[in-house]
Amino acid sequence: MRIGELSRRTGVSVPTIKYYVREGLLPAGELTSPNQASYGETHERRLRLVRALLDVGGLSVAGIREILEAIEDRDRPVHKMLGTAADRVVPRYSEEAGEGVAEARATVAELVDRRGWHTYDDSPAAEALAVALAALTEIGHADFAEVLDAYAGAAEQVAGADLQYVARNVEREELVESVVVGTVLGDAVFAALRRLAHVDASRKVFGMGE
């Protein structure tokens, strides 16, 4: 199809599509004449993925480019590749670690140990968790660590469901795409569900006087 048709199908404007091609988020169309390119279903699917990561996932153009590079890097075994793709969608904290983070890292290490989770050194997820826990402690919510195990149990359930979902997609490229999609959009899904469940739980606890 021509770029105009791709634009109509996806609701993304032609200049934006061209911008994504220039930024490396979308492969260029196949040239059918010196100034006309043809786009296929792969382009359409990729374009929808990019939009979902931008709009719902809240990722940056640079972040998406890194993820797409991980999808296309065929030199790594599947397990490592999935880890790389997942690591790239973890928010990075640029700040130099405050004093509280060192303590929080120990809390995280204990938790990982207690749950019997396999992890690896310099896991960005472990670091992100330590930063969040340190921030909670700084604002007087150190006790939040007491609910960590409830969170961890729920995270295991969600991760199990994610993997079951991902394991259906046998193609390597689809597999990574599923992990990325599941990680980024799964966060959005879970956050929304958690808020819905809050409303229900809060009504039960505080709603008596309504």
Residue 108 · residue 122 · CB < 8 Å: no
Cβ atoms within 10 Å, residue 101? 20
Q: Supply the minimum distance, in Å, between the C-beta of residue 34 and a second copy.
A: 32
CA angle 83, 152, 54 (to 5 degrees): 50
Alpha-carbon distance 27 to 6, whole Å? 13
Q: Supply the minimum distance, in Å, between the C-beta of residue 30 and a second copy.
A: 22
Q: Which residues of 40-58 are buried (b: 16+ CB within 10 A; e: fewer)?
A: eeebbebbebbbbbbeebe
Q: Supply the minimum distance, in Å, between the C-beta of residue 32 and a second copy.
A: 26
Cβ atoms within 10 Å, residue 88? 20
Question: With respect to a second copy, which residue has the nearer C-beta, 36 or 40?
Answer: 40
Question: With respect to a second copy, which residue has the nearer C-beta, 29 or 186?
Answer: 186
Question: With respect to a second copy, which residue has the nearer C-beta, 21 or 47?
Answer: 47
Residue 146 · residue 136 · CB < 8 Å: no
Q: Supply the minimum distance, in Å, between the C-beta of residue 68 and a second copy.
A: 13
Query: Tokens representing 88?
Result: 């790239």
* Alpha-carbon Rg for the chain in angstroms: 21
Question: With respect to a second copy, which residue has the nearer C-beta, 30 or 156?
Answer: 156
Q: Supply the minimum distance, in Å, between the C-beta of residue 189 and a second copy.
A: 5
Question: With respect to a second copy, which residue has the nearer C-beta, 31 or 109?
Answer: 109
Label residue 93 exposed, middle or buried (CB < 10 Å: 0-12, 13-18, 19+): middle
